[in-house]
């Protein structure tokens, strides 16, 4: 196991909920822009050209079949039906919740020497994202939705991720959920 630093870079941004008081000065097309952004985000995350395919799967001719390169909260790959539901759900959630997006980029040899992409996806879905969301101040992980995909089409492998509250779930400093 390599002891070198993973040289992880994390970038994050968010889009305000449509009902945010800070959106009162937004243009009339703001809602359409935000819902279009949800579709484009999910389509980009799950883009087939960025699929991660292991060497064994590639040479054996295995494909994901109906599944796409988008990992769900349970660690499974989404299928086309899941994609449609995620888009519908996120468009509903964004009415009253901020949509957070992030990218985690790794030094490629660190991943190659320390963890398989499949293991990384499982750790990300079942351990890292739930811990991260709790650390950010979200109280009940079951009231959160998150998706991510690993892209290996660039010099550095990277993970695109998004998360949003299904219901008010943020624990403020006064210990109230809002």
Q: Measured between alpha carbons, how far is residue 142 from residues 29, 59, 134, 167, 176 in Å?
A: 32, 38, 11, 9, 17
C-beta neighbour count of 39 within 10 angstroms: 13
Q: Picking from 17-21, 74-78, 112-116, 173-177, which range would have the lowest pLDDT averaged per residue? A: 173-177
C-beta neighbour count of 111 within 10 angstroms: 19
Q: What is the residue-averaged pLDDT of the chain? A: 83
For residue 60, pLDDT over 50 is answered with: no
Q: Are 69 and 149 in contact (CB under 8 A)?
A: yes
Tell me the pTM: 0.84
Compute the average pLDDT of residues 56-71. 59
Share above pLDDT 90 across residues of the chain, in percent, rounded to a whole number: 46
Looking up tokens 């991260």 gives 132
pLDDT digits (tens, 9 = 90+) for 154-169: 778 889 999 999 998 8
Which residue would you say has higher pLDDT here, 177 or 70? 70
Compute the average pLDDT of residues 104-133. 89
The pLDDT-based confidence of 78 (bands split at 50, 70, 90) is very high
Tally the residues of the chain: 178
The C-alpha atoms of residue 22 and residue 18 are separated, in whole angstroms, by: 9
CA angle 71, 13, 99 (to 5 degrees): 60
C-beta neighbour count of 35 within 10 angstroms: 17
The pLDDT-based confidence of 115 (bands split at 50, 70, 90) is confident
The sheet with strand 158-165 has its strands ordered as 9-15, 99-105, 158-165, 144-151, 67-71, 77-79
Q: What is the pLDDT of residue 70?
A: 92
Closest to 140 measured CA to CA, from 169, 117, 163: 169
> CA 172 from chain center: how many Å?
23
Q: What is the pLDDT of residue 56?
A: 42
- Give the E-state strand segments of the chain in sequence order: 9-15, 67-71, 77-79, 99-105, 144-151, 158-165
């Amino acid at each position: 196991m390599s002891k070198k630093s993973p040289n992880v870079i994390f970038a994050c941004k968010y889009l305000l909920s449509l009902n945010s008081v800070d959106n009162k000065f937004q243009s009339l097309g703001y809602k359409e822009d935000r819902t279009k952004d949800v579709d484009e985000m999910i389509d980009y995350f799950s883009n087939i050209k960025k699929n991660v395919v292991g060497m064994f799967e590639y040479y054996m001719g295995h494909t994901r079949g109906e599944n796409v390169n988008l990992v769900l909260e349970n660690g499974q790959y989404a299928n086309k039906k899941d994609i449609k539901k995620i888009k519908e759900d996120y468009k509903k959630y964004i009415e009253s919740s901020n949509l957070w997006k992030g990218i985690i980029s790794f030094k490629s040899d660190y991943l190659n020497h320390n963890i398989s992409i499949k293991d990384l996806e499982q750790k990300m879905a079942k351990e890292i994202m739930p811990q991260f969301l709790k650390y950010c101040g979200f109280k009940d992980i079951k009231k959160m939705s998150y998706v991510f995909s690993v892209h290996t089409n660039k010099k550095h492998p990277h993970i695109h991720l998004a998360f949003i509250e299904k219901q008010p779930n943020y624990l403020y400093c006064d210990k109230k959920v809002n």
